[in-house]
Amino acid sequence: MRIVLGSDHAGYELKQAVIEHLAAAGHETSDVGTHSTAPVDYPPFCAAAARAVVRGEADLGIVIGGSGQGEQIAANKVHGVRAALCHDEFTARLSRQHNNANVLALGARILATQLALVIVDTWLATEFEGGRHVARIEELAQIERDECAAGARTGAAGSGSAGSGSAGAGAGPQAT
């Protein structure tokens, strides 16, 4: 399986452990950064991982940060991504069975490495159940389409973002 990974500085060390674990299991990995523990902002790395999944460059993605919350949010901003923040095997399993999650978010400051690897293995081994869940996945996709259309009609694409600093799209990672 082709798996793309992205992290911020807080998730870097866990990401390295996950990459080693995945490689040992025979998976192909791609690391979109960051590549050190130097402070960076997570959105560009999580978006890059999410975009790789949507483009078909990877089958699934994993994003890792301190809590995983922001990483999940950033990945979910990419149209077509269903990112799930998982802290145990149960949520990992359900995120795939019921929600067909295509990106896994992990919190490196919350999970011990061994538990994180168990979560990754559970998530990767779990298949989407389909059935009654298919209609729900389609409803999520319809919400995305409606929101994109509404943004295009109002010219509000990108509005509603937190902060109003000068670091816009393309400004690259910013230190925190």
Q: Which residues pair with 65 in a beta bridge?
A: 107
Higher per-residue pLDDT: 2 or 154: 2
pTM of the model: 0.87
**Among 129-133, 145-149, 151-155, where is mean pLDDT lowest?**
151-155
Please check whether the domain covering 2-153 is classified as CATH 3.30.2350.10. Answer: no
**Among 67-76, 112-121, 161-170, where is mean pLDDT lowest?**
161-170
Q: Where are the domains of the chain?
A: 2-153
**Among 47-56, 112-121, 166-175, where is mean pLDDT lowest?**
166-175
Q: Is 98 a catalytic residue?
A: yes
List 27, 35, 87, 98, catalytic entry: 98
Is the Cα dihedral 161, 165, 170, 175 positive or negative? negative
Q: Is 35 a catalytic residue?
A: no
CA distance 176 to 167: 13
- Mean confidence (pLDDT) of the chain: 90
